Structure 1
């Protein structure tokens, strides 16, 4: 049995989600102690409980300690299976973070999987679902992952209520990925979205981002999604945000920014643009979100992957430690925490 301390490194819910997903893949029982030990309060919240329920359903697994505030969890996985599943977080807890744990298991199911989640789609503490759809899944396709994501309704804090569905096809073995340099820029795209807010807010976010990007020769093509009550995709609570993405000759990268009450729309847009400019001018093909999300896939792939990121985060270091401990993958880091880094991983060539 594997035992993992939930207060190591990042010390949050990521340890619970990722370690349980990896244990599911290799079919090993796992115990996580001191769950979310560096959070206040520690222990399970609703979104973490939902992630465990999703993983248990995907493999007919058994869970002990599945209650609010629990600081110790035992998970015994069964056989991974396909099928259709539906879960409701019950809060604005991020569905993106649940999908990060579920997707590696879904992809290696022996049959297609359809997973529908209800909760927060655009959350300040997690990548938005739009990032998963337009950046992460695009890069994973280069590795051989077949997955589609559709947003049925947006969900913002405090009530959530967003709905997202992901469909996956079975994969036998993943190819490694090489993102060592920013390739030739082929497309720059933007998405601005708002719910229950005046339409000029989305226009101003797009305009300010475009103006800043054009100064360095980037000409983004924007999609605007302005939703009001009556539209089935409109959220229960007001909210807005922006996603900027680049397709280059080696892959995809992106940045996002969520609107905050009291912050001008122009600032939201220009802040996102500045993040993208730093990536482009530094020649970094991997943004800080993409780095920690790719590590588990690199560890599962057959061969050597290598990525260059603008920032080595504590989340990324946590992912690295867990994949080394549970999957026995070989990873090397050139760089320091909070600084640019190159990560090399010799994957285990996982196949189900």
Structure 2
């Protein structure tokens, strides 16, 4: 899991999870990410179009109700390989997730020609949406040429298991987005912000130390106790802070 947390987020996760999280801080209108070409390691060749509005201040956040999983969506993509790779990933993924959630839809995205980048590859991004509007994600991609070949069925099953692990950890954001949410809370207006997460990842713990060193900001961290008959998943943590009131000086004041 630690290696998975260290990897870069794929563009589909940024589009379906990161951008909705940013919108909760008041950066929603005009925020857009479009994939025009997909690239894989090592030679890349992908292309995206990203649009982001300029905001003077970030809104405080009160996000302490994660809700229950209501549906799972995903994208199985393939570049410069057979289209059957995507279908094999989908079949293996559904073989795991169909036991838990009925509402599952995984899109297949097979890029051809110039849109397929410069290296062959395939992978899967999964997102679980809750009744309270939180998003939990997991992703995996194939190994680079020269490494041990990846099997599409293994990619599907392992990504599904990673998603179930994130769901078990719980909280309003997944492990990959804990640090981003805390950063925006710290930079927000001088008001109270709260968020409920699962167990803090090692990356997030170190990130909290950086926030303390750079902004002299300390979060109040409280373990949320659950009754034995109500316990769902791992222990939850509630983090509270008062934003430093950071203001974007490049935004013209009308």
Q: Same fold (TM over 0.5)?
A: yes
Which of 52, 68, 93 matches 1:184?
68
Q: Following superposition of structure 1 onto structure 2, how do residues 73-92 of structure 1 map, counting pairs within 5 Å? A: none
2:177 is matched with which residue?
290
Q: TM-score, normalised by structure 2?
A: 0.78
* Partner Cα separation in structure 2 for residue 202 and residue 179 of structure 1: 35
Over the aligned positions, Cα root-mean-square deviation in angstroms equals 2.3
Secondary structure, aligned partner of 1:277: helix
Tell me how far apart the structure 1 counterparts of residues 245 and 100 of structure 2 sit (CA, whole Å).
41
Aligned CA distance change for structure 1 residues 295 and 218 (closer, same or farther; 3 Å): farther
Match 1:314 to one of 182, 192, 202 = 202
The answer to whether the Cα contact below 8 Å between 1:192 and 1:206 also exists between their aligned partners in 2 is yes
Q: Distance in 2 between matches of 1:126 and 1:234?
A: 20
Partner secondary structure for residue 177 of structure 2: helix
What is the CA–CA distance in structure 2 between the aligned matches of 1:295 and 1:197, rounded to whole Å? 39
What TM-score does the superposition give when structure 1 sets the normalisation length? 0.58
Determine the C-alpha separation between the residues in 2 that align with 1:165 and 1:321. 33
Q: Deviations over 1:53-95 (max 9, x none)?
A: xxxxxxxxxxxxxxxxxxxxxxxxxxxxxxxxxxxxxxxxxxx
**For residues 54 and 162 of structure 2, what CA distance do their matches in structure 1 show?**
35
1:343 aligns with 2:233: no
Contact 1:213 1:219 in 2 (8 A): no
Q: Note closer, same or farther for the CA distance 1:181–1:279 as it changes in structure 2 (3 Å cut).
A: farther
Structure with higher RCO (Cα < 8 A, 6+ apart) = 2
Per-residue Cα deviation, 1:85-132 (whole angstroms, up to 9, x for no partner): xxxxxxxxxxxxxxxxxxxxxxxxxxxxxxxxxxxxxxx831112111
Separation (CA, whole Å) in 2 of partners of 1:311 and 1:159 = 36
Per-residue Cα deviation, 1:14-42 (whole angstroms, up to 9, x for no partner): xxxxxxxxxxxxxxxxxxxxxxxxxxxxx
Assess if the C-alpha contact under 8 Å between 2:170 and 2:197 holds in 1: no
| Contact 2:86–2:122 (CA under 8 A) maintained in structure 1 | yes
Shift of the 178–220 alpha-carbon distance from structure 1 to 2, 3 Å rule, reads: farther
Partner residue, 1:253: 136
Change (3 A) 1:271 1:305: farther
1:209 alignment partner, SS class = helix
Once the two structures are TM-superposed, the CA of residue 184 in structure 1 deviates from its matched residue by 3.5
- The CA distance in 2 between the partners of 1:311 and 1:154, in whole Å, is 33
- Report what 1:172 is aligned to: 56
The reply on whether 1:329 has 2:217 as its aligned counterpart is yes
Give 5+ residue unaligned stretches, structure 1. Answer: 1-123
